[in-house]
C-alpha cells in the first residue's frame, strides 16, 4: 500500500466539496452514474477495436447498492476500469488546465462554490459532499485490480488487490443524514430511485437497484419532441456538458434519405470555463446506431462553435470509425455543413425572437463566434448577420451591422470602425475627432480577434469596412477638398522637411482631414497591421520588421500653425526637437509606446523650462 498526496489544486477542490454549502447534494449520484456510463461506453468501443481483449460485454450495466446498517452506498459498473496509473492520474491529479482558473475565479469573485463548480464539472469529487470516506476498487482488462481510498483530506492510499471484478465500484461511507443541512438519507431506495429518474433516466445502460432496472434507457434524440420535457433536455445537457445550468436553447435535427442521422444540440447560458484555453474540449458526441463512438468529435463542429454541446447519432457509419477516417468521410463533411448552418440559423432566430437571450449568448461566446469570420468563409455572411458590436451610436446597447447600415448617412459608402484595447481608448483617440464632429457612427472593436477579422472581411451588404485609423478617410465636401488642397500646397515644404527629420520613424508626413482638436495623429496605410496587433505578435514571441506609419498634422491647430510660421521664418535646427515632440505626442495619444521615453521626457522638460 502507498500513501500519496493529492495535487494542490485537487486538494483545494476537495475542500470545496467537503465544506460545500450547495443545497442540492443529490447531484453526486448523477456524477457517479455518469462516470459509470462513460466506462461502459468505452469498454464496448474498445471491444470493437481490440478483438483480443478478453472481456464480457453481454450484460453491461450499472448497479447501485445501499447498506443502511453500515451507512454505505455503492455504485458499481462492469465497464473499462482503470489501471493503477490511471487512478493516480485521474483522481489524485486534476489534469484539466481549467482547474487553476476555476479556483482563481472562485477567490476573485468571492462566490459560493455552487456558482462555479458547475462550470468546471465536479465529477468524482462530488462524492465528498455526502461521504466521510470514499473507497474505489477497479480493474482494467489489461491490468490487475487496484483499491483507492481517501477521507478527502491531503492524502489517499492506493494498493493492488487480487480478484477485483471487471469495471469499477465506488463505495461512499455516508455522513449521517441531516435535515437542517439538507442531507437526506441516501441509503433509502425511494430516494435513490427519485435521483436516478430525475437525472439519469436517459442513460443508455441499465441502472439496477435490487435487481430491477430503474431508468427508462430511452435516447432523448430518438423520442418525439412532444414526449420530451424541458427538464429532461436540461438534465441531458448537464450530463454531457458537466454544466449545472440549464441550456439557453435546444436544437433538434433529423435527416432522412440516403444518409440518415439525428442530432440534439444545445447552446449554453454560460460560456464553458475552458472556452479560450488551448486544450479546451470541442465538438459533440458521436453515436452510430445508438452506440457511443467518441466524445468531442471535432470533425462534426468547427472550433469557433466549440461551445455547442450535444450528440449526433448517425445510421450509416462503421462502429470502427476512427478520427482519421472521419476527417476524410464525405458524409461527415456533409453533416458538419448542415449542423453549422442549423446552429447559425438558430442563433439568428434567437436574435429576432428572443433578443434578451441572444444578448446573453453573445456576451458569453461572441468572441469565439467571430473566429469563424476567419476560418469559415462559406458561412461568413451568416456569421456577420448574427454579430453584435459596440458603437458610438449608444454607450450601452450593441448594434448589428444591418442596424448600422440603416442609420448610415446619405451617400456614405463605408462602415467605419476602430480597433483598440478598450472603449475608452477608442473614444478618446484623435482618429475619431472628425467623424464625431460630422456625426458618423463608428464601430468600437475591442476583442483581440477583431484585430484579425477586419483585415480578412472586406465588406457587408456591399458596404466596405474602413478603419478610421488607416488610409485616407474621405469625409469632406468638394469645397472642403478644395480648401484642403490649398493648405497642402501652403504646407508642402514643411511636410517635406518633417518627413526627412522623422525618416527613422515615419514613411510620410501629411495634412489630416480626420483631426479637429488634436495637433497630430499617427495612421497606417490600408494594409498595415495595427499597433495592437503588432503588440500581440510580440507578446507571442514573434518579432516583426519595423513598421513605419504616417504622421498627419492638423493645420488648424495653434501648435502646428506656430510650427509652420517658425519654419517659414527660416528656423530649422530648433524645430527638429519640436517635430519629434509632436510625433511622440501623437504616439502617446493613440496608446502607443515611445522608442526612447527618457529622451522624450528630456525634450518636454527643456521646452517647459523655456516658458519660465
pLDDT averaged over every residue in the chain = 87
**Cβ(232)–Cβ(202) below 8 Å:** yes
Average pLDDT, integer, range 538-553 = 85
518 annotated ligand-binding residue: no
Given its phi and psi angles, is residue 217 left (phi above 0), alpha (psi -120 to 50 degrees) or beta? Answer: left
Q: Residue 47: its pLDDT value, please?
A: 87
Average pLDDT, integer, range 378-397 = 96
Confidence band, pLDDT 50/70/90 cuts, at residue 467: very high
The domain made up of 10-213 is a member of CATH 3.30.70.1060 = no
Pairing relationship of beta strands 291-297 and 309-314 according to DSSP bridges: unpaired
Comparing 129-133, 563-567, 569-573, which segment has the lowest mean pLDDT? 569-573
Task: State the pTM of this model.
Answer: 0.74
The answer, yes or no, to whether residue 416 has pLDDT greater than 60, is yes
Q: Residue 107: its pLDDT value, please?
A: 54
293 annotated ligand-binding residue: no
Comparing 120-129, 271-280, 476-485, which segment has the lowest mean pLDDT? 120-129
82 annotated ligand-binding residue: yes
Q: Is 116 helix (H, G, I), strand (E, B) or coil?
A: helix
Average pLDDT, integer, range 289-312 = 88
Q: What does DSSP assign to residue 135? A: E
Average pLDDT, integer, range 343-357 = 97
Pick from 473, 470, 471, 468: which is nearest to 418 by CA?
Answer: 468
97 annotated ligand-binding residue: yes
Q: Cell for 532?
A: 495592437
Which of 114-118, 282-286, 517-521 is the most confident on average?
517-521
CATH of domain 387-467: 3.40.50.11260
Rounded-to-integer distance, Cα 502 and Cα 509, Å: 9
541 annotated ligand-binding residue: no
Q: Is 355 exposed, middle or buried (0-12, 13-18, 19+ CB in 10 A)?
A: exposed
Alpha helices in 428-477 (DSSP H): 433-438, 450-456
Q: Which fold has domain 220-362?
A: Ribosomal Protein S5; domain 2 (3.30.230)
Q: Residue 9: its pLDDT value, please?
A: 72
Confidence band, pLDDT 50/70/90 cuts, at residue 118: very low
Domain span(s) for CATH 3.30.230.80 in the chain: 220-362
251 annotated ligand-binding residue: no
Q: Residue 117: its pLDDT value, please?
A: 44
Q: Residue 610: its pLDDT value, please?
A: 81
337 annotated ligand-binding residue: no
Measuring CA to CA, how many Å separate 211 from each of 205, 207, 208, 467?
A: 14, 9, 6, 69
Q: Cell for 610?
A: 523655456
Q: Residue 62: its pLDDT value, please?
A: 97
The answer, yes or no, to whether residue 24 has pLDDT greater than 50, is yes
Domain span(s) for CATH 1.20.120.790 in the chain: 478-610
Neighbours of 580 (CB within 10 A): 18
124 annotated ligand-binding residue: yes
Average pLDDT, integer, range 555-578 = 88
Domain span(s) for CATH 3.30.565.10 in the chain: 10-213
pLDDT tens figures, 225-246: 999 999 999 989 988 887 878 9
Pick from 367, 398, 252: which is nearest to 305 by CA?
Answer: 367
C-alpha 555: how far from its chain's center?
Answer: 46
600 annotated ligand-binding residue: no
* ∠ CA 101-532-394, rounded to 5°: 85
Rounded-to-integer distance, Cα 115 and Cα 18, Å: 16
DSSP string, 42-111: HHHHHHHH-TT-----TT--EEEEEETTTTEEEEEE-S----HHHHIIIIIS---THHHHHHHHHHHHT-
Q: Residue 547: its pLDDT value, please?
A: 84
Average pLDDT, integer, range 104-123 = 48
Confidence band, pLDDT 50/70/90 cuts, at residue 400: very high
Q: What number of CA atoms fall less than 13 Å from residue 566's CA on the CB side?
A: 16
* More confident call, 583 vs 102: 583
CATH class of 478-610: mainly alpha
The answer, yes or no, to whether residue 122 has pLDDT greater than 80, is no
Rounded-to-integer distance, Cα 362 and Cα 373, Å: 15
168 annotated ligand-binding residue: yes
Rounded-to-integer distance, Cα 502 and Cα 511, Å: 15
The answer, yes or no, to whether residue 103 has pLDDT greater than 70, is no
24 annotated ligand-binding residue: no
pLDDT tens figures, 27-37: 889 889 988 99
* More confident call, 259 vs 174: 174
With a CB cutoff of 8 Å and minimum separation 6, the contacts of 141 are 43, 46, 53, 54, 55, 80, 81, 166
Q: If you search the block for the grid coordinates 488487490, which residue do you land on?
A: 161
Pick from 453, 310, 460: which is nearest to 372 by CA?
Answer: 453
Rounded-to-integer distance, Cα 348 and Cα 329, Å: 29
Q: Is 218 exposed, middle or buried (0-12, 13-18, 19+ CB in 10 A)?
A: middle
Confidence band, pLDDT 50/70/90 cuts, at residue 608: confident
310 annotated ligand-binding residue: no
In this prediction, what percent of the chain has a pLDDT beyond 70?
A: 94
Rounded-to-integer distance, Cα 499 and Cα 551, Å: 9
119 annotated ligand-binding residue: yes
Comparing 8-17, 54-63, 215-224, 395-404, which segment has the lowest mean pLDDT? 8-17
Q: Residue 318: its pLDDT value, please?
A: 73
Q: Residue 93: its pLDDT value, please?
A: 62
Please state the φ and ψ torsions of residue 552, each to the nearest 5 degrees: -105, 135
Q: Residue 192: its pLDDT value, please?
A: 96
Q: If you search the block for the grid coordinates 462559406, which residue do you land on?
A: 378
Domain span(s) for CATH 3.40.50.11260 in the chain: 387-467
Rounded-to-integer distance, Cα 313 and Cα 42, Å: 16
Q: If you search the block for the grid coordinates 480597433, which residue do you land on?
A: 419
Q: Residue 599: its pLDDT value, please?
A: 93
Q: Residue 327: its pLDDT value, please?
A: 78
* ∠ CA 468-472-477, rounded to 5°: 100
Comparing 10-19, 168-177, 297-306, 473-482, which segment has the lowest mean pLDDT? 10-19
Amino acid at each position: 500500500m502507498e500513501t500519496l498526496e493529492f495535487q494542490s489544486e485537487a486538494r483545494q477542490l476537495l475542500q470545496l466539496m467537503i465544506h460545500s454549502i450547495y443545497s442540492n447534494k443529490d447531484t453526486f449520484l448523477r456524477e457517479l452514474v455518469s462516470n459509470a456510463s462513460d466506462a461502459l461506453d468505452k469498454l464496448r468501443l474498445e471491444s470493437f477495436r481490440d478483438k483480443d481483449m478478453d472481456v464480457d460485454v453481454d450484460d453491461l450495466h450499472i448497479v447501485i447498492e445501499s447498506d443502511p446498517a453500515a451507512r454505505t452506498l455503492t455504485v458499481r459498473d462492469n465497464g473499462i476500469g482503470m489501471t493503477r496509473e490511471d487512478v493516480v492520474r485521474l483522481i489524485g491529479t486534476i489534469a484539466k488546465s481549467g482547474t487553476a482558473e476555476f479556483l482563481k475565479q472562485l477567490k476573485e469573485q468571492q462566490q459560493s462554490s455552487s456558482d462555479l463548480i458547475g462550470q468546471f464539472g465536479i465529477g468524482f469529487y462530488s462524492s465528498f459532499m455526502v461521504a466521510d470516506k470514499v473507497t474505489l476498487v477497479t480493474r482494467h482488462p489489461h491490468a490487475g485490480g487496484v483499491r483507492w481510498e481517501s477521507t478527502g483530506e491531503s492524502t489517499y492510499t492506493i494498493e493492488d488487490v487480487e480478484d477485483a471484478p471487471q469495471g469499477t465500484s465506488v463505495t461512499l461511507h455516508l455522513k449521517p443524514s441531516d435535515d437542517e443541512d439538507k442531507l437526506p438519507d441516501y441509503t433509502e431506495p425511494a430516494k435513490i430511485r427519485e435521483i436516478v429518474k430525475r437525472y439519469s433516466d436517459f442513460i443508455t445502460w441499465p441502472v439496477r437497484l435490487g435487481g430491477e432496472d430503474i431508468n427508462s434507457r430511452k435516447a432523448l434524440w430518438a423520442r418525439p419532441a412532444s414526449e420530451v420535457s424541458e427538464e429532461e433536455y436540461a438534465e441531458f445537457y448537464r450530463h454531457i456538458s458537466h454544466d449545472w445550468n440549464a441550456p439557453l436553447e435546444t436544437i433538434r435535427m433529423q435527416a432522412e434519405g440516403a444518409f440518415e442521422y439525428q442530432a440534439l444540440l444545445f447552446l449554453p447560458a454560460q460560456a464553458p470555463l475552458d472556452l479560450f484555453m488551448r486544450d479546451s474540449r470541442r465538438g459533440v458526441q458521436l453515436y452510430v446506431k445508438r452506440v457511443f463512438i467518441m466524445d468531442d468529435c471535432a470533425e462534426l463542429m468547427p472550433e469557433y462553435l466549440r461551445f455547442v454541446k450535444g450528440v449526433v447519432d448517425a445510421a450509416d457509419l462503421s462502429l470502427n470509425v476512427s478520427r482519421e477516417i472521419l476527417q476524410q468521410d464525405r458524409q461527415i463533411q456533409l453533416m458538419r455543413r448542415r449542423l453549422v448552418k442549423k446552429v447559425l440559423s438558430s442563433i439568428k432566430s434567437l436574435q429576432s425572437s428572443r433578443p434578451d437571450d441572444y444578448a446573453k449568448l453573445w456576451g458569453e461566446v461572441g468572441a469565439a463566434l467571430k473566429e469563424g469570420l476567419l476560418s469559415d468563409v462559406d458561412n461568413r455572411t451568416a456569421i456577420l448577420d448574427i454579430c453584435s458590436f459596440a458603437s458610438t451610436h449608444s454607450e450601452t446597447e450593441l448594434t448589428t451591422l444591418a442596424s448600422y447600415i440603416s442609420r448610415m448617412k446619405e451617400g456614405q459608402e463605408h462602415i467605419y470602425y476602430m480597433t483598440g484595447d478598450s472603449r475608452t481608448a477608442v473614444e478618446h483617440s484623435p482618429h475619431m475627432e472628425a467623424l464625431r464632429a460630422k456625426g458618423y457612427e463608428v464601430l468600437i472593436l475591442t476583442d483581440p480577434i477583431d484585430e484579425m477579422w477586419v483585415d480578412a472581411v472586406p465588406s457587408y451588404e456591399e458596404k466596405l469596412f474602413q478603419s478610421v485609423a488607416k488610409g485616407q478617410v474621405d469625409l469632406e465636401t468638394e469645397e472642403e477638398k478644395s480648401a484642403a488642397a490649398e493648405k497642402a500646397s501652403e504646407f508642402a515644404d514643411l511636410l517635406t522637411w518633417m518627413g526627412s527629420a522623422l525618416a527613422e520613424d515615419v514613411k510620410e508626413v501629411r495634412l489630416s482631414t480626420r483631426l479637429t482638436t488634436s495637433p497630430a495623429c499617427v495612421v497606417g496605410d490600408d494594409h498595415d497591421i495595427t499597433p495592437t496587433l503588432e503588440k500581440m505578435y510580440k507578446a507571442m514571441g514573434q518579432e516583426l520588421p519595423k513598421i513605419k506609419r504616417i504622421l498627419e498634422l492638423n493645420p488648424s491647430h495653434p501648435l502646428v500653425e506656430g510650427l509652420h510660421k517658425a519654419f517659414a521664418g527660416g528656423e530649422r535646427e530648433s524645430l527638429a526637437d519640436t517635430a519629434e515632440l509632436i510625433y511622440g505626442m501623437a504616439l502617446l495619444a493613440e496608446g502607443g509606446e515611445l522608442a526612447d521615453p527618457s529622451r522624450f521626457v528630456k525634450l518636454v522638460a527643456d521646452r517647459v523650462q523655456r516658458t519660465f
